[in-house]
């Protein structure tokens, strides 16, 4: 993995899966994303982290999605569409 995408060990925090998923969904909902799309987006980012793909998980992509939304380059209708076409399951 590219070093720039790694979370430094001193900044790493372990969060229970359900808590992470709920928190990410709440962030998306605060942005005005529908409950369903927020859940899909949160599930995708959480499962990506759990699969060890840190470059596209919560720590890297959530910040980017919020920034893009605030800049107007990402609409709330697109959050669910950014996720996998099939929800990732454990």
pLDDT digits (tens, 9 = 90+) for 30-88: 988 889 889 989 999 999 989 988 778 898 899 988 998 888 887 766 666 654 444 44
Q: What is the set of domains in the chain, with CATH numbers?
A: 16-82 (1.10.1530.10)
Tokens of 2: 């590219």
Does pTM top 0.85 for this prediction?
no
Q: Tokens 């372990």 sit at which residue?
A: 14
Q: How far apart are CA 31 and CA 33, in angstroms?
A: 6
21-31 pLDDT per residue, tens: 999 999 999 98
Would you state the structure tokens that stand for residue 25, as one six-digit string?
């969904």
Task: Write down the pLDDT at residue 23.
Answer: 97
pLDDT at 82: 58
């Amino acid at each position: 993995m590219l070093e720039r995408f790694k979370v430094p060990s001193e900044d790493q925090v372990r969060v229970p899966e359900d808590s992470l998923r709920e928190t990410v969904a709440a962030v998306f909902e605060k942005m005005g994303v529908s409950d369903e799309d927020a859940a899909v987006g949160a599930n995708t980012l959480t499962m990506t982290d759990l699969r060890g793909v840190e470059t596209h998980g919560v720590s890297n992509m959530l910040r980017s999605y919020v920034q893009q939304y605030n800049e107007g380059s990402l609409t709330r209708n697109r959050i669910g569409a950014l996720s996998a076409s099939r929800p990732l399951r454990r």
